[in-house]
């Protein structure tokens, strides 16, 4: 067999191996490619208890309840179509509040409550840290200044 044919066969085998690896990776990630599940996705598709996911939505106003231990909170997450009860034990982020966006990492328990292990509070494009409230950016001096 000539060297030219050997190189051609090697290139074809390498290409087939690369395509096979890509297909294998794609099949393994078919449902895991979603950044997070919305409450409506959970209600329609269902998520088995114990499976680690991210749940995203808005914290329902009036649903935030603190337990007597001082570190456990119970709240509801909604996407406007469905609502899911959730619970978190730990220190919440500063931006976490009723009516704000949240992405919670965790898993559902057997009772259908999402047990969050981590909370990621979301903010909009108008977010201003507490330390900078009442301040504005001066384009001329390129510095922050107090508003009057």
pTM above 0.75, yes or no: no
Q: What is the pLDDT of residues 56-78, one digit of tens each?
A: 888 899 999 999 988 899 999 98
- At 148 the pLDDT is 56
pLDDT of 30-52, one tens digit each? 656 556 788 988 888 888 888 88
Distance CA 17, CA 11 (A): 10
Q: For 114-147, how does the pLDDT look when each residue is reduced to its tens digit (9 = 90+)?
A: 999 999 876 655 555 555 555 565 666 655 566 6
127 annotated as ligand-binding: yes
The reply to whether CATH 2.40.50.140 applies to domain 39-122 is yes
């Amino acid at each position: 067999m000539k060297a030219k044919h050997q190189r051609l066969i090697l290139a074809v085998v390498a290409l087939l191996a690369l395509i096979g690896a890509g297909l294998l990776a794609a099949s393994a990630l078919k449902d895991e490619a979603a950044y997070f599940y919305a409450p409506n996705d959970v209600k329609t598709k269902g998520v088995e208890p114990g499976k680690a996911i991210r749940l995203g939505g808005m914290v329902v106003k009036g649903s935030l309840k603190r337990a007597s231990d001082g570190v456990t909170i119970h709240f509801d997450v909604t996407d406007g179509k469905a609502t899911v009860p959730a619970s978190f034990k730990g220190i919440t982020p500063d931006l976490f509040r009723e009516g704000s966006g949240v992405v919670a990492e965790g898993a559902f328990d057997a009772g259908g409550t999402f047990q969050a292990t981590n909370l990621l509070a979301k903010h909009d494009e108008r977010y201003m840290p507490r330390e900078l409230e009442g301040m504005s950016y001066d384009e001329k001096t390129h510095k922050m200044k107090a508003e009057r």
